[in-house]
Amino acid sequence: MLFDPTIRRAGALVVAALMLGAAPSALFAATPADTLVIADAIDDIVSLDPHEAYEFSGLDVINNTYDGLIELDPTKPGELVAGLAESWSVADDGLTYSFKMKAGLTFSSGNPVRAQDAAYSLQRAVKLDKSPAFILNQFGWTKDTVDSMITADGDTVTIKVDKPFAPTFLYNCLTAGVASIVDEETVKSHEVDGDLGTEWLKSNSAGTGAYVLKSFKPNEGYVLEARSGYWRGDAKLKRVFMQHIPEAATQRLQLEKGDIDIARELTPTDIEGMAGNADITVQQDVGGQIFYLAFNQKDERFKNEHFLNAMRWAVDYQGMVDTFLKGTEVVHQSFLPSGYLGALTDTPYSLDVEKAKAELAASGITDTTIKLSVRNAADRMDMAQSIQNTFGQIGITVELNVGEGAEQLKEYRARQHQATLQSWGPDYPDPNTNSSTFAENPDNSDEGKNTGYLAWRNAYDPGAMTALSQAAVLEKDPAKRVAMYEELQKTSRETSPFIVMFQIGYQTGMRATVKDFYTGGATDSVAYWLVSK
């Protein structure tokens, strides 16, 4: 006998016990009724200090834990509404703004919200000088000047700017996360070695938002808990639990199972696969990122208008969306994403091989081989191959130069590429963010090293557009300002070495019971406090 008889009997018992234990149990219920459970990839979060956070996932948290003087209406993309300020006005010279604070509001600590908190917060953001500080620096605020340019007196904050900017420009920038108002007393009480409390704020909150940050573990998740008495009305759900789950197939399984309420990283394949499921709804909206082709004008061919036109008519915009992009991108052909003030949403270009061939012939260019740099990411490779195919149909040979993201960026910034497939996300919810980079180039020389301007990276001198874009940011009449951006986009679309192709689409998978989940679209972040289920 191979086994000792006692062992045989014990073994049988163990096997039976294991089989009983594996039977289905009541462990796997739906998500708690008062909690919104979300799966997303949140490994982009660097800090949850509102004056440092500058990544999508981090700004989602900031939007729900803090408010600014002015806010965006989450239900109407791009529309300004009062935040912690009740009213505001601008002096005739366009250099001084007054914001009157709402009365009776409190921070999550219970401290009252004062004008002093607002002034302190903007000063802090400038002094902290992290990535998003440049949004505020545009108004002439520096570490040395900000204390005198932003002051509080009673219930009024006075803000001075160094140029008579378009008021909407300031207002839009004040809706950005970096302009969030923090609780001065709480933050100061956590200051260590003059760090302005930033170490503490990385994983704690001190704001007026609908939620308070209860816990945060990098690359694992966070928990938000609702506070009562939120000035826009209490959050409908008591808690938000975010889990870092980067794998789309895993998210889908959990969503179908009811273990999560919302999945934010699904692929078109997952979306298609869930089509017949009555328990799941898919919400489609657009984000702010755009995809574009750029051609370096150090190569003289890319200054030829007919050659550029030929390529504009040789991209299969709709074909790509219909076949492999499927909702992850929508066709968009101007440098302002839709949702932005003045954005042009018409799409005049489509794949027209005959027209493209005629333009190519008119260009007189005979050397039609171009080298296209592209990042080794699946969606970009698909786009590049489609472009290679349709350009080939009109007689332009595309050689792909595939590489890692950071390396390609280095090449782009050094003006060493020939053609490149790139994406660009706006920095703040004002049209100047994209207009200044696509349509301005104050110094096109190599020595200028204006790497921040996409126009410069492509050795492209936009001519009169630079001045027009600079004037638009100073235009006080909102209607005129819109007209100026429309003209800029049109001119850029027809003459620049940029071919804008797509705007990013968000596909959010949700349990059918989830209502009112606003992603923030192109200009804003998620608003959890409106969600019910």
Partner 1 sequence: MTEYSSPLPRSPLLSVLRQIGNTAVTLLVTFIGLLAVTFIISRVVPIDPVTSILGERATNAQIEQTREALGLNDPLWQQFAIYLGDTLTGDLGTSIRTREPVLQEVARRFPATLELATLATVLGVLLGVPAGVIAATKPGSWFDQITRLIGLMGYSMPIFWLGLMGLLLFYGHLGWVGGPGRLDAVYQMSYDFDITPYSGMILLDTALNGRWDMFANAFSHIILPAGLLAYISMAYISRMTRSFMMNELGQEYITTARVKGMPEYRVIWVHALKNVMVPLITVVALSYAYLLEGAVLTETIFAWPGLGSYITDALMVADMPAVLGGTVVVGAAYIGLNMLSDLLYRLVDPRARA
Q: Which of residues 242-271 bind partner 1 (CB under 8 A)?
A: 243-247, 249-250, 253-254, 256-257, 259-260
CB 200 to partner 1: min, Å: 14
Q: Under 8 Å CB-to-CB from 423, ≥6 apart: which residues?
A: 289, 290, 291, 292, 504
Answer for which of 9, 10, 12, 43 binds partner 1 (CB under 8 A) is 43
CB 437 to partner 1: min, Å: 9
Comparing CB distances to partner 1, the nearer of 2 and 275 is 2
CB 111 to partner 1: min, Å: 24
Comparing CB distances to partner 1, the nearer of 74 and 426 is 426
Structure tokens at 282: 């898919």
Instruction: Give the SS3 label for residue 380.
Output: helix
8 A C-beta contact, residue 399 and residue 434: no
Answer for which of 78, 221, 287, 339 binds partner 1 (CB under 8 A) is 221
Q: Is 193 in the site for partner 1 (CB under 8 A)?
A: no
CB 171 to partner 1: min, Å: 23
Q: Is 462 in the site for partner 1 (CB under 8 A)?
A: no
Give the range of 143-151, 184-192, 235-243, 342-350 binding partner 1 by CB under 8 A: 235-243
Comparing CB distances to partner 1, the nearer of 2 and 103 is 2
Comparing CB distances to partner 1, the nearer of 3 and 474 is 3
* HSE toward the beta carbon, residue 235, CA cutoff 13 A: 24
8 A C-beta contact, residue 329 and residue 370: no
Comparing CB distances to partner 1, the nearer of 32 and 348 is 32
Residue 221 backbone dihedrals phi, psi, to 5 degrees = 160, 180
Number of residues that bind partner 1 (CB under 8 A): 54
Give the range of 40-48, 88-96, 271-279, 300-308 binding partner 1 by CB under 8 A: 40-48
Cα gap 198→188, rounded to integer Å: 10
Answer for which of 13, 20, 278, 406 binds partner 1 (CB under 8 A) is 406
Q: Is 126 in the site for partner 1 (CB under 8 A)?
A: no
Of 333, 302, 520, 499, which is closest to residue 429 (Cα–Cα)? 520
End-to-end CA distance of the chain: 62
Q: Under 8 Å CB-to-CB from 246, ≥6 apart: which residues?
A: 41, 43, 265
- How distant is the alpha carbon of residue 431 from its chain centre? 14
Give the range of 41-49, 70-78, 347-355, 522-530 binding partner 1 by CB under 8 A: 41-49
Q: Under 8 Å CB-to-CB from 206, ≥6 apart: which residues?
A: 107, 108, 109, 182, 183, 186, 187, 197
Comparing CB distances to partner 1, the nearer of 203 and 304 is 203
Q: Is 276 in the site for partner 1 (CB under 8 A)?
A: no
Q: Classify each residue of 143-173 as buried b or exposed e, where b means 16 or more C-beta atoms within 10 Å of its C-beta.
A: eeebeebbbbeebbbbbbbeeebbbbbbbbb
Residue with tokens 């991209």: 315
Answer for which of 353, 362, 409, 482 binds partner 1 (CB under 8 A) is 409
Comparing CB distances to partner 1, the nearer of 219 and 389 is 219
* HSE toward the beta carbon, residue 91, CA cutoff 13 A: 11
CB 86 to partner 1: min, Å: 34
CB 270 to partner 1: min, Å: 12
Neighbours of 208 (CB within 10 A): 27
8 A C-beta contact, residue 488 and residue 435: yes
Among positive and negative, which fits the CA dihedral 32, 278, 64, 81?
negative
The full length of the chain comes to 533
Comparing CB distances to partner 1, the nearer of 155 and 225 is 225
Burial zone of 327 (CB within 10 Å; 0-12 exposed, 13-18 middle, 19+ buried): middle
Answer for which of 56, 241, 313, 529 binds partner 1 (CB under 8 A) is 241
Q: Is 28 in the site for partner 1 (CB under 8 A)?
A: yes
Q: Which of residues 427-456 bind partner 1 (CB under 8 A)?
A: 427, 449, 451-452
Q: Is 142 in the site for partner 1 (CB under 8 A)?
A: no
Residue with tokens 């007393």: 185
Cα gap 161→158, rounded to integer Å: 10
Comparing CB distances to partner 1, the nearer of 226 and 351 is 226
Q: Is 100 in the site for partner 1 (CB under 8 A)?
A: no
Structure tokens at 131: 């990535």
Comparing CB distances to partner 1, the nearer of 219 and 269 is 219
Q: Which of residues 365-404 bind partner 1 (CB under 8 A)?
A: 404
Q: Is 215 in the site for partner 1 (CB under 8 A)?
A: yes
* Helix spans in 265-316 (H): 268-273, 305-312
Cα gap 43→21, rounded to integer Å: 36
CB 126 to partner 1: min, Å: 17
Binding residues for partner 1, rule: CB under 8 A, are: 1-4, 7, 22-25, 27-29, 31-32, 35, 37, 39, 43, 45-47, 131, 134, 215, 217-221, 223, 239, 241, 243-247, 249-250, 253-254, 256-257, 259-260, 404, 406-407, 409-410, 427, 449, 451-452
